[in-house]
Chains A and B, each alone.
Chain A
Amino acid sequence: MTKKEYDNIPGTIVFDADRSREGYHLNQFCISLRLKKNRDAFNENEEVYLDSYPMSSQQREAVLLRDWNLLLELGGNIYYTSKLAANDGINFQNLAGRMTGMGVDSYREMMIKGGRSIEGNRDKSEWGED
């Protein structure tokens, strides 16, 4: 894929038109969980429910494993994946605790102390990434 101007922001996935295309069926599955009748059907049998969404096998696996970061890497968007999290009883802040690898308590603590600083978090080079 062509290099984009925002690719060097660390720890960030920009949900652009390319990702939206790749993640379409995954995101439509996630948003279906906004409604209780769909949540009930999904919780009854996840595999069967997922059969009606033609997502890639990798996306399907990431859903079943609740691999929150991989879901985003495969075209998921946070406003969609958060509906899957909500179905599991995980709110936005707890989801962030998981995605950052910090755990729920240290993440909450960081937020109370003013959040993650911008210093050292502007460019991938500061994270030792390309």
Chain B
Amino acid sequence: MAKIMAGVGCSHVPAIGVAMDTGITNDDYWKPIFDGFNRSREWMKKQNPDVIFLVYNDHCTAFDARCIPTFALGCGAEFHPADEGWGPRPVPAVKNHQKMASHIAQSLVLNEFDITIMNEMEVDHGLTVPLSVMFGNIKQNEEWPALVIPLCVNVVQYPAPTGNRCYNLGKAIRSAIESYEEDLKVVIFGTGGMSHQLQYKRAGLINSEWDKRFLDLMTEDPIAASQITHLEYLRETGSEGIEMVMWLIMRGALNENVTEVHRHYHVPASNTAVGHIILENN
């Protein structure tokens, strides 16, 4: 049977992708950010997952204002990096484990999570940046070392799904994955955050103390984290900090007791606090 080995929480700042694509990761500004992922890349090699279930949000790329699904599951064969206005990122297309994705789609709906099914979808930095930071530089003509099942969450138009809903969806994803009959190692990613506000007069807000407490809760008390209100995210972590609900999907798919094997936190990457955590199922 398939098994979820671990969860990864990780920011997906677009400028991190640009820094990798333009080879400036060793300069004074970027080095401290990338140094925090050296251990993660070693860890990924050791884990060697067959499949990554990757929770992220689209930034009006696959979904503009015409259609805003709260949860959209990628079920197509592959997903190409989108042109977000400055050309597509020079990274490989993402290949799905389509049979497992179909199984998850069916299981989630029967478990009362009425997701949208995407058989065609371009993916933006929200999905490719976490893969790049965790796998390192993978050239366009190479392949990502794992298959990827994308789950796209609306966090652009308020309200995003509640933290509680996300946490419970994580549990349903786990039961879907772990009822799939092939022996596969799966790692789940929850991406986005941490505190940041990109817009209007309060842009630049960072709340490191809050972020660090959130990282603590990820390890020690996910149920408390799942009860954080939207108002608290907006006020304390900035209008875009609400992306952190996506980490709760990842966390819901893990055991209540986990081992934190790595953590990294740095301010800033562009306008954003970068947070990262690796949690292994006990």
> Which residues of chain A have a CB within 8 Å of any CB of chain B?
5-6, 9-17, 20, 23-24, 27-28, 31, 33-36, 39, 69, 72, 77-80, 82-83, 86-87, 91-93, 95-96, 99-101, 107, 110-112, 114-118, 121-122
> Which residues of chain A are near B120, meaning CB under 8 Å?
none
Contact assessment for A15 and B158 in the assembled complex, using a CB-CB cutoff below 8 Å: yes
> Which residues of chain A are near B267, meaning CB under 8 Å?
111, 114-115
Contact assessment for B203 and A96 in the assembled complex, using a CB-CB cutoff below 8 Å: yes
> Which residues of chain B have a CB within 8 Å of any CB of chain A?
14-15, 59-61, 64-66, 68, 83-86, 156-159, 195, 197-210, 230-231, 234-236, 238-240, 267-268, 270-271, 273
Interface contact tally, CB-CB below 8 A: 145
Majority secondary structure, B binding face: loop
How near does chain B come to A31, taking the closest CB pair, in angstroms? Answer: 5
Query: A22 to B246, alpha carbons, bound, how many Å?
Result: 27
Contact assessment for B199 and A116 in the assembled complex, using a CB-CB cutoff below 8 Å: no
Contact assessment for B273 and A11 in the assembled complex, using a CB-CB cutoff below 8 Å: no
Contact assessment for A9 and B234 in the assembled complex, using a CB-CB cutoff below 8 Å: yes
* A33 touching B203 in the complex, CB below 8 Å, given contacts A12-B234, A14-B234, A92-B270: no
* A16 touching B270 in the complex, CB below 8 Å, given contacts A27-B65, A31-B64, A101-B201: no
How near does chain B come to A95, taking the closest CB pair, in angstroms? Answer: 8
> Which residues of chain B are near A83, meaning CB under 8 Å?
60, 85
Query: A26 to B231, alpha carbons, bound, how many Å?
Result: 27
> In the complex, which of the residues A17, A20, A31, A78 has the most CB atoms of chain B within 10 Å of its own CB atom?
A78
Contact assessment for B202 and A92 in the assembled complex, using a CB-CB cutoff below 8 Å: no
Query: A80 to B60, alpha carbons, bound, how many Å?
Result: 7
* A78 touching B198 in the complex, CB below 8 Å, given contacts A6-B234, A96-B204: yes
Contact assessment for A14 and B85 in the assembled complex, using a CB-CB cutoff below 8 Å: no
Contact assessment for B210 and A35 in the assembled complex, using a CB-CB cutoff below 8 Å: no
- 23 CB contacts below 8 A, A to B, read A6-B231, A10-B202, A12-B234, A14-B234, A16-B157, A17-B157, A27-B64, A28-B66, A34-B83, A36-B83, A69-B201, A72-B199, A77-B157, A79-B60, A95-B198, A96-B271, A99-B203, A100-B203, A114-B208, A114-B267, A116-B202, A116-B203, A121-B202
How near does chain B come to A96, taking the closest CB pair, in angstroms? Answer: 4
How near does chain B come to A39, taking the closest CB pair, in angstroms? Answer: 8
Which one, B200, B207, B270, contacts A93 given CB within 8 A? B270
> Which residues of chain B are near A33, meaning CB under 8 Å?
85
Which one, A15, A77, A100, A117, contacts B201 given CB within 8 A? A100
| Chain A residue nearest to B269 in the complex (CB) | A111
* A116 touching B205 in the complex, CB below 8 Å, given contacts A5-B231, A28-B64, A72-B200: yes
> Which residues of chain A are near B201, meaning CB under 8 Å?
10-12, 69, 99-101
